[in-house]
Amino acid sequence: MVVADALGAGAPGQAQRLERRRIHGRHRATFDLFVARGFTAPDTGGTAGDLSGNNAKLRTAMASSAAATRRAATATLTPGTRVLDADPVDSLTVAVPATASVVLAQSAVLFARAQGEHPLLLALNEGFVIQATVPATGTWQFAVTTEWDEIQVF
């Protein structure tokens, strides 16, 4: 199977870069990053991130974050009130081998943009959701590191 992902939405007349990778194996896992708009009630379940005080800051002189984060633990999150875009802005697909305790992807990047490319800008009550489509059996782990800036106007 060959997966082709668009890496950037080019303006009219601009070519889009495509990344092609061959996926081998009986099973695949896909992690899709969707933009979520119109958050009026947060997702529930899992664990809320603690962004109070100086937790998770890259510089303590910066103001505390207004963001809210939540991560699933042993079950999926219960969706709050939000609308996901029809298509993901980025995806990661990896082969899942039959052997236990194998690292599927290490340091893979979702939605990384090079200097000068347009970043993901989120307004009030917007965010993103990562949805995992994995084989029905087995145990897996997925970790996410997120960096962001909070600004008044862009």
Cα angle 131, 100, 73; round to 5: 35
| CA dihedral sign of residues 112, 115, 120, 122 | positive
User: Distance (Å, rounded) from C-alpha 7 to C-alpha 36?
Assistant: 19
Q: List the end-to-end C-alpha distance of the chain, in Å, as a whole number.
A: 40
Q: Are 34 and 85 in contact (CB under 8 A)?
A: yes
In this prediction, residue 14 carries a pLDDT of: 38
Q: What is the pLDDT along the chain (154 residues), one digit of tens a residue?
A: 333 333 333 343 333 343 444 444 467 889 999 999 998 888 888 888 888 888 888 888 988 888 888 888 778 888 989 999 999 998 888 887 777 677 766 667 777 777 778 888 888 899 999 998 888 777 777 788 888 888 777 6
Q: How far apart are CA 75 and CA 47, in angstroms?
A: 11
Question: Quick one: pLDDT at residue 26?
Answer: 60
Per DSSP, the three-state class of 116 is coil
The pLDDT of residue 105 is 66
What is the structure's pLDDT at 106? Answer: 66
Comparing C-alpha atoms, which of 108, 89, 94, 87 is closest to residue 21?
94
